[in-house]
Chains A and B, each alone.
Chain A
Amino acid sequence: EPEVTQTPSHQVTQMGQEVILRCVPISNHLYFYWYRQILGQKVEFLVSFYNNEISEKSEIFDDQFSVERPDGSNFTLKIRSTKLEDSAMYFCASSGRAYGHTEAFFGQGTRLTVV
């Protein structure tokens, strides 16, 4: 069964450092997403990406965040200068068609710890 894969599963970084979280969406999907879940809190939408550009982003997704699809298979989230409050589980998701009935499939997540 096709699945969304994320690497690494756990990343520890020092405050102020840049991190890149990587995702391989399901191969024929068109929409890609990043979500985050701070420990003990709800899952929050960060950004959606379609046709090589951001289609929607939340207030959380400020200038320190960026996304990229550098090739045909990977989808990355970059945090330029990490802060302690960026510590969270980050989920990548992808969905199939641009319009119509289709759900988002989530990866297992990357736990980011900023120290």
Chain B
Amino acid sequence: AQSVTQPDIHITVSEGASLELRCNYSYGATPYLFWYVQSPGQGLQLLLKYFSGDTLVQGIKGFEAEFKRSQSSFNLRKPSVHWSDAAEYFCAVGGYGGSQGNLIFGKGTKLSVKP
């Protein structure tokens, strides 16, 4: 069955520290992978996406993610976290073609940032 696992429900990091949010997926075909961020009371904003090519993808707000097919992972990283990064982060997987918007989301990781 297709699924996305985000093993960390809540992570707290200090401002300026590095961050890695984990995401593992199970998908039968070539996956298209996404990270979305949701600030309190807001919608979902796309941080970055992987479709093909270079397995290290850069996104907005200084985030990057690395696709590792052998580990079925797509972990999100940021070298130095800012207080404004406090939000909930969702990893999602989708398919090619018309079903690209039929995304399967993980349960999310809530990020708190300590001053």
Task: Enumerate chain A interface residues (CB-CB to B < 8 A).
Answer: 31, 33, 35, 41-45, 48, 50, 55-56, 91, 93-95, 98-109
Question: Which residue on chain B has the smallest CB distance to residue A99?
Answer: B97
Q: Which residues in window 40-56 of B have CB below 8 A to A?
A: 42-46, 49, 51-52
Please tell me if B96 contacts chain A, counting CB pairs below 8 Å: yes
Please tell me if B108 contacts chain A, counting CB pairs below 8 Å: yes
Beyond known contacts A103-B100, A109-B42: 7 more, CB 8 A cutoff: A33-B101, A42-B105, A43-B90, A45-B104, A95-B100, A101-B51, A104-B94
Least CB distance, B41 to chain A, in whole angstroms: 9
Question: Which residue on chain B has the smallest CB distance to residue A47?
Answer: B102
Can you list the 5 inter-chain pairs with the closest CB atoms, starting with the nearest? A108-B43, A104-B101, A106-B44, A43-B105, A42-B107
Least CB distance, A22 to chain B, in whole angstroms: 15
Task: Enumerate chain B interface residues (CB-CB to A < 8 A).
Answer: 32, 34, 36, 42-46, 49, 51-52, 90, 92, 94, 96-108
Instruction: Count A/B pairs, Cβ under 8 Å.
Output: 66
Question: Which residue on chain A has the smallest CB distance to residue B97?
Answer: A99
Q: How far is the CA of A93 from the CA of B100 in the complex (A)?
A: 11
Q: Are B102 and A45 in contact (CB under 8 A)?
A: yes
B105 cross-chain contacts in A, Cβ below 8 A: 42-44
B42 cross-chain contacts in A, Cβ below 8 A: 108-109
Q: How far is the CA of A33 from the CA of B52 in the complex (A)?
A: 24
Q: Are A31 and B107 in contact (CB under 8 A)?
A: no
Q: Are A48 and B44 in contact (CB under 8 A)?
A: no
Q: Are B49 and A103 in contact (CB under 8 A)?
A: yes
Q: How far is the CA of A106 from the CA of B106 in the complex (A)?
A: 16
Partner of B102 from A33, A100, A102 at Cβ < 8 Å: A33
Least CB distance, A53 to chain B, in whole angstroms: 12
28 contacts between A and B (CB under 8 A): A31-B98, A31-B100, A42-B90, A42-B106, A43-B92, A43-B103, A43-B105, A43-B108, A44-B105, A45-B102, A50-B98, A55-B98, A55-B99, A91-B44, A95-B101, A98-B97, A99-B96, A99-B97, A100-B97, A101-B52, A102-B100, A103-B46, A104-B94, A104-B103, A106-B44, A108-B42, A108-B43, A109-B43
